[in-house]
């Protein structure tokens, strides 16, 4: 159940409500609220609300409204917030911000290398993806690798290089964070915190990104075999921890055919848009694992109404330290941006057959 | 290994070759050959060819060329035939034929009801999908149903109704065949034989459709959990039985999330186009199981380079005897055809942003 | 809904009931009834039964009882028949019959080669598995193979060899049937008709085996990715066609890890035993695809309460024409039978720690 | 590649080796070594070893031997260590230790509530599972829950209760740790650190448990859809971080049928025993999700050669705060222990049919 708090509630009324919420949930407090689209809200387990508790809540002077939803996720639900969540990436202090999730916006393209390898590789790629039309620079400083013997990323040094690339290009930066203790450090250098596939149910990490002091947006990749409910509940962890700025990222799910690395589930894009107000982007690189499929599946993703793409680009894919087989060149990126923009316009009724 | 037979080979040389092939394969003959794109070919298990057999084969006067391929499928392989297979659906005697699989062709739209229910329902739908721009009429006379207690189709009566609808509209007709003994009967009334998901490895049925006396095209749906190799080997059964006119149809694969009926694997479209020369269409109805997703996934399918769509349309979806939840109206079909045509043009470089 | 027909119903009362059932189901008859455990029954789609139809049915003199079940399958349901179905395999005319599905019976072991290759291989194997303690001989005459270029079995010749092996050993014979038109021919030579994984939803084949003139038992393998409901509905097709003698066979399901050919779902054994009264056997050969795992998973299958095993045995596994990697020797079979018998005794409380 | 360090190597020789390893791997050190079965070893990515590096390594006075393995995991591989790893759980200071992974040992039974709910529930359950014959007490203090609104465990208070239960019963304690920053705190109270399914590729957590100051054993659950290679590489992270005491736990994998919560992959037990020397236990509670299947699948697990079981037990399953549907009573546990002991004896040849 979601409780909307009255804007004008005075501190006494608020304190009384918080005490009641502590009592109902058995929490020792403090209760975390989230500011979403102009409302201050808090959600609690519906199973804890009996008729008495409900009428107690409703009679609170600090309570604007209560919402009973049937979905397991609450704040992430389209049933609660019918308008799309619109999220601004980047701050005018350091870069050119871009907005994702609005209406009638062109798709947001996030591009860059799988891993930050060194200064030259990163800066070259950043400048090239900027020229190609990308609006956000991606690059991994901390790399989750299946084997402990694979390259694990440059770590803190990689963060510094990303910040430098942002300064040079004006592109806001997205990079992965792998553990709760690193969230604040990564947040000092990045504009979007990425949570990887393998961490989609790393609950302490979800909470830590939800609590990050800058309220930086979080890009939450789908797990290897997440159901939509599980994924949205992972988003709910972040939102309930105080951060409504969650971007979902479909990146393929595990299946039985070794021909592709994963199966890209594009149908989840319009399906999620029914279920949630959060923006949804697609990663055509990890989902296909093959460079030559990236342009085609980028087009299909935008035709399926994805609000953005996150694509691995490398100036020389064959020498990449990580995921070279699925990296494309900046030239290919430019063509993708051209084509997907046309499809986005067409969907909005702004293109015509020649 | 594939053997191409010399066009000018006389009957003696042919007989000598066939005898040799019987000896190598242990078959008692006759050996089936297939005419593909102007060549007469036959494939045999590479494991049966040692050096001696190979040089014997090469020295045959009836042999034009031998091809050693590494793929398990042979005749279906792009490595053997680099040009797209182009298939004509329908005959000018009874309808307006349409070609699928050529280059620079608009997507072929096959549409109609899941099941033929009665004369009025079928004729109304056929006329409506024709008006909406569809080129092929689909409709099930024999319905494979999970439960023995569900409606199993009108059977032969349904075939007659389909033939009548073809006469009235000029649309060629596709319908499913479920058992080898029915292939010739269905072939008398249909223009394309459909093999359903559950029969993708029904080998006697594959052979029977491969041998159908009219060499009608076969639309082969992907199995619930077919790998691409298994699917292409199923196509190989049909081609090796003498019929090169196979159309592949992606219709979603089984996965773990109950939110959608199946997961539509759109990435398989460009991947198959690397592996095979056969045309590929997508079924956005069965793959999503939800009416409101059909238009969006139709767009995405064409953006992924599918050469056609097969869509369930019903004049009154909510009263359909079968699969009503995923059926759309003729009006929605018209919009889908408009949008997918634009995307197809755009991919070919013929559209411009307004 | 299931209708039990009164034993003493005269032909007039029966005819009246059948006419009513035709009217309710829209069938033109004749209506098929099934004799199960001493009762004559017929099931129809519950959705067709409104209050009026129900009271009409109940007032029929030929109706003993009506049963409303919530499961999609009806006759296969444990809710309808609480006692285990007990099936006799083989006839005293030609072999030593064995019963499966009773209470307190030892597991029934079916063993033999994947494919019948030649007389010597089959007879040798048959005698060896008999000596090792197997009660049923398995062997494929018609082999469904993923590729059209693989060995497809000896066909009719294989059936004759199987019948000869039965004569020599007294072991009843199980073999696969792949198409409706072959059911009667296979039934002339076999004691159990096997339906393979790829045909679990080949509905015409299910019906044909259900109607086989000898009412031979049918061993129905689980599909590559069948749900339990789908599998039980496939069994329902056979039972509703008049043949209650269905044996279910778990043989592994498709999953994402290429390390094993399939994932053996042993939990389905006790789960099925809650849902259905049909006997359940396990195929540890196909499910693991690896010879060295067969003995271990045989033990686990019996510990999970399987009522039998079907195992591939070859006198010289490394030279087998088909599935040699998963075939074991007769010596290994003997050890498996010894161990699984002990586990079966232990489960029944007849064994003690030494 | 694995390098075994000479026992007698002096500090200069060691330092020289470590400097060389830093040079080869690009690490700034220090290099972590692991003591396994009497050997001190370190593994590095084989891709970094060219012929020159290899001969340099071999000529090092501190190097006893180098081992080139083809598996992606190295130290976890049976090819490296042929004897079973034997792990002692618990210390004589606080409890009655038990050994897992030896030869001819009875299965180790770990049992207790899903979640520690309060003092009485835990102590009652601990005493009951001890009486029933369990050797290790399980209980969750930190609970990873799909929804942020579900009960998340008692936290630190739960750890204190577990330690108290150990004092009262003498049973060593296993409990889950969810984030790197909590490893040392949990290690103060527990005897085995459990890593849950959703954290199988939480690499910082794997490293932290590998480095835990007491070298406590780690029970590593399989991920929802882990391949065996991925799972063993997760174990490799822990071992390579200095802790060879890893216990693998199969708990079911995600599949397509909603009838069971997960599919228990028992075949992985003997398969893993070929691939690795680590002990393997099975969780029949999470894998089935149904109480009535737990005893049967426990038997099947031991018949499949599992070296232990971890089972959810609750004094009153229907009132459990978490996973009550899959919890059994202490009485049922006692029966399971009796039966599985008999099967274990039988496998070792120590039981006879009555």
Instruction: Decide: helix, strand or coil at residue A44.
Output: coil
Min CA distance, C144 vs chain B (Å)?
A: 7
- What is the C-alpha to C-alpha distance for residues A139 and A163, in angstroms, rounded to an integer? 11
Using CB atoms and an 8 Å cut-off, which of residues 257-276 of chain B contact chain A? 257-260, 263-271, 274
Alpha carbon of C112: minimum distance to chain B alpha carbons (Å):
23
pTM beyond 0.90: yes
| Residues in CB range of C346: below 8 A, 6 or more apart | D339, D342, D343, D346, D351
B256 in D contact zone (CB under 8 Å): yes
| Distance of alpha carbon B293 from alpha carbon B255, whole angstroms | 18
Percent of chain A exceeding pLDDT 90 equals 86
DSSP letter string, B19-76: HHHHHHHT--SPPP-EEETTEEEEE--GGG--HHHHHHHHT-TTEEEEE--SSS--TT
SS3 state at D104: coil
Q: Which residues of A touch B353 (CB under 8 A)?
A: 341-342, 345, 350-351
pLDDT at D350: 64
Domain segments of chain C: what residues?
A: 2-67, 87-347
Contact present, C283 and C301 (Cβ < 8 Å): no
Task: List, for residues B135-183, the tens digit of each pLDDT value.
Answer: 999 999 999 999 999 989 999 999 999 999 999 999 999 999 999 999 9
pLDDT band at A58 (very low <50, low <70, confident <90, very high): very high
Strand C280-282 vs strand C246-250: parallel, antiparallel, or unpaired?
parallel
Per residue in A136-169, pLDDT (tens digit) is 999 999 999 999 999 899 999 999 999 999 999 9
pLDDT at C353: 43
- pLDDT value at B354 more than 50: no
Is the model's pLDDT at D219 over the cut of 90? Answer: yes
Residue D68 has pLDDT above 80, yes or no: yes
Check residue B106 and give its pLDDT.
Answer: 86
Cα B273 from Cα B277, distance rounded (Å): 7
Inter-residue contact D288 to D261 (CB < 8 Å): yes
Tokens 């659950």 belong to D221
pLDDT of residue C282: 98
Closest CA to C202 of B232, B196, B261: B196
Min Cα–Cα distance to chain A from D105, Å: 32
Of all residues in chain C, the one with the smallest CA distance to A255 is: C256
Rounded average pLDDT over D324-352:
88
User: Which residue spans within chain A are E strands per DSSP?
Assistant: 2-5, 34-36, 39-43, 63-67, 87-89, 98-100, 108-112, 136-138, 173-176, 192-195, 218-221, 246-250, 280-282, 308-312, 351-353
Q: Residue B137 is encoded by which pair of tokens? A: 């009429």
d(CA B316, CA C209): 38
First vs last Cα of chain A: how many Å apart? 52
Cβ-based neighbours of C290, under 8 Å, separated by 6 or more: C260, C261, C325, C326, D271
Who contacts C66 (Cβ-Cβ below 8 Å, separation ≥6)?
C1, C2, C3, C4, C54, C57, C58
d(CA A294, CA A337): 12
* DSSP characters over C144-164: --SSTTS----THHHHHHHHH
Burial of A51 (0-12, 13-18, 19+ CB in 10 A): exposed
D324 touches chain A (CB under 8 A): no
Is residue D324 very low, low, confident or very high in pLDDT (cuts 50, 70, 90)? confident
Mean of per-residue pLDDT scores for chain B: 94
Residue D260 pLDDT greater than 80, yes or no: no
Please state, in angstroms and rounded to a whole number, the distance separating the CA atoms of residues D66 and D71.
Answer: 15
Q: Which residues contact A166 (CB under 8 A, 6 or more apart)?
A: A94, A95, A126, A137, A172, A173, A191
pLDDT tens string A77-106: 999 999 999 999 999 999 999 999 977 778
Residues 231-250, chain B: which have Cβ within 8 Å of D?
none
Token readout for C313 is 């045995």
Of B254, B256, B258, the CB nearest to D254: B256
Question: What number is the average pLDDT over the span C192-211?
Answer: 98
Name the residue among C93, C19, C77, C13 with its Cα closest to residue C43.
Answer: C77
Per the prediction, chain D carries an average pLDDT of: 94
pLDDT above 70 for A351: no
Contact B194, B176 (CB under 8 A): yes
Angle at A68 between CA A63 and CA A71, to 5 degrees: 135
Q: Which residues of A touch D179 (CB under 8 A)?
A: 179-180, 202, 204-205
CA B56 to chain CA centroid, Å, is 36
> For the segment B292-339, what is each residue's pLDDT rounded down to a tens digit?
999 999 999 999 999 999 999 998 888 888 878 889 999 999 999 999
Q: Is C68 left (phi over 0), alpha (psi -120 to 50) or beta?
A: beta
- Structure confidence at residue C354 as a pLDDT band (50, 70, 90): very low
Segment among C65-79, C103-117, C201-215 with least mean pLDDT: C103-117
Q: Which residues pair with C136 in a beta bridge?
A: C110
Query: How confident is residue D273, by pLDDT bands cut at 50, 70 and 90?
Result: very high
Q: What are the respective helix, strand and coil percentages of chain B, to the nearest 5?
A: 40, 20, 40
Percent of chain A with pLDDT over 70: 98
Residue C140 bridge partners (DSSP): C115
Lowest mean pLDDT, pick from A229-243, C196-210, D95-109, D340-354: D340-354
> DSSP letter string over B163-211?
HHHHHHH---EEEE--SGGGHHHHHHH-SEEEE-GGGTT-HHHHHHHHT
- Check whether B88 has a pLDDT greater than 60: yes
The predicted-structure confidence for D129-177, as pLDDT tens digits, reads as follows 999 999 999 999 999 999 999 989 999 999 999 999 999 999 999 999 9
Percent composition of chain D: helix, strand, coil (DSSP 3-state, to 5): 40, 20, 40
Whether residue D73 has pLDDT greater than 70:
yes
Q: Which residues of A touch B269 (CB under 8 A)?
A: 296
CA distance A187 to A168: 19
**pLDDT at position C261 over 80:** no
Kindly report which listed range (A250-254, A287-291, D134-138, D252-256) carries the lowest average pLDDT score.
A287-291
Whether B308 and B110 have beta carbons less than 8 Å apart is answered as yes
Residue C186 has φ and ψ, to the nearest 5°, of -65, -40
pLDDT at position C257 is: 86
Chains adjacent to C (≥3 CB pairs closer than 8 angstroms)? A, B, D
Touching subunits of A (3+ CB pairs, under 8 Å) are: B, C, D
Tell me the average pLDDT across A63-75.
95
What contacts C211, CB < 8 A, 6 or more positions away?
C183, C241, C242, C243
The 10s digit of each residue's pLDDT in C7-58 is: 999 999 999 999 999 999 988 889 999 999 999 999 999 888 999 999 999 9
| Burial of B341 per CB tally in 10 Å (0-12, 13-18, 19+) | middle
Instruction: Give me the numbers of helices (H) and strands (E) for chain C, helices first please.
Output: 11, 15
Q: Which residues of C touch A223 (CB under 8 A)?
A: none
- CB within 8 A of D26, min separation 6: which ones? none
D87-347 is classed CATH 3.20.20.70? yes
pLDDT tens digits, residue range C264-323? 999 999 999 999 999 999 999 988 889 999 999 999 999 999 999 999 999 888 888 887
Q: How would residue B353 be classed by pLDDT, with cut points 50, 70 and 90?
A: very low
The rounded distance, in Å, linking the Cα atoms of D18 and D40 is 13
Least confident of A216-225, A324-333, B234-243: A324-333
Helical pair D294-303 and C294-303, crossing angle rounded to 10 deg: 160
What's the confidence (pLDDT) of residue C10? 95
| Mean per-residue pLDDT of chain C | 94
pLDDT for position C105: 77
Distance CA D110, CA D120 (A): 19
Concatenated DSSP letters for C98-126?
Answer: EEES-SSPPPEEEEE-SB---HHHHHHHH
Residue found under tokens 């285990």 = C84
Say what percent of chain C tops pLDDT 90: 86
């Amino acid at each position: 159940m979601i409780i909307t708090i009255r804007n004008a509630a005075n501190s006494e009324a608020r304190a009384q409500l918080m005490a009641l919420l502590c009592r109902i949930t058995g929490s020792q407090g403090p209760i975390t609220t989230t500011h979403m689209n102009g409302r201050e809200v808090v959600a609690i387990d519906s199973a804890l609300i009996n008729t008495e508790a409900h009428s107690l809540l409703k009679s609170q002077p600090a309570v604007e409204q209560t919402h009973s939803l049937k979905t397991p996720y609450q704040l992430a639900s389209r049933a609660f917030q019918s308008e799309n969540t619109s999220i601004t990436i980047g701050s005018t202090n350091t870069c050119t911000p871009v907005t994702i999730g609005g209406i009638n916006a062109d798709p947001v393209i996030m591009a860059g290398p799988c891993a930050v390898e060194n200064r030259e590789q990163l800066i070259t790629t950043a400048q090239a993806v900027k020229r190609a039309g990308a609006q956000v620079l991606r690059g991994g400083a901390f790399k989750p690798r299946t084997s402990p013997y694979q390259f694990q990323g440059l770590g803190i040094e990689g963060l510094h290089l990303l910040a430098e690339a942002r300064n040079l290009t004006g592109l806001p930066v997205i990079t992965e964070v792998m553990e709760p203790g690193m969230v604040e450090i990564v947040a000092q250098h990045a504009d979007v915190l990425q949570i990887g596939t393998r961490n989609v149910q790393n609950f302490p990490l979800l909470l830590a990104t939800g609590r990050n002091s800058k309220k930086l947006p979080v890009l939450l990749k789908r797990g290897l075999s997440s159901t939509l409910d599980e994924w949205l509940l992972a988003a709910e962890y972040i939102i309930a921890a105080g951060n409504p700025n969650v971007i979902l990222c479909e990146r393929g799910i595990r299946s039985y055919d070794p021909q592709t690395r994963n199966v890209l589930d594009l149908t989840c894009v319009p399906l999620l848009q029914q279920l949630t107000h959060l923006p949804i982007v697609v990663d055509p690189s990890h989902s296909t694992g093959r460079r030559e499929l990236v342009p085609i599946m980028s087009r299909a993703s935008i035709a399926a109404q994805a609000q953005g793409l996150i694509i691995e680009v490398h100036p020389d894919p064959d020498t990449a330290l990580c995921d070279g087989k699925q990296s494309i060149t900046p030239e290919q990126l430019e063509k993708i941006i051209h084509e997907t923009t046309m499809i986005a316009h067409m969907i909005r009724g702004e293109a015509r057959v020649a």
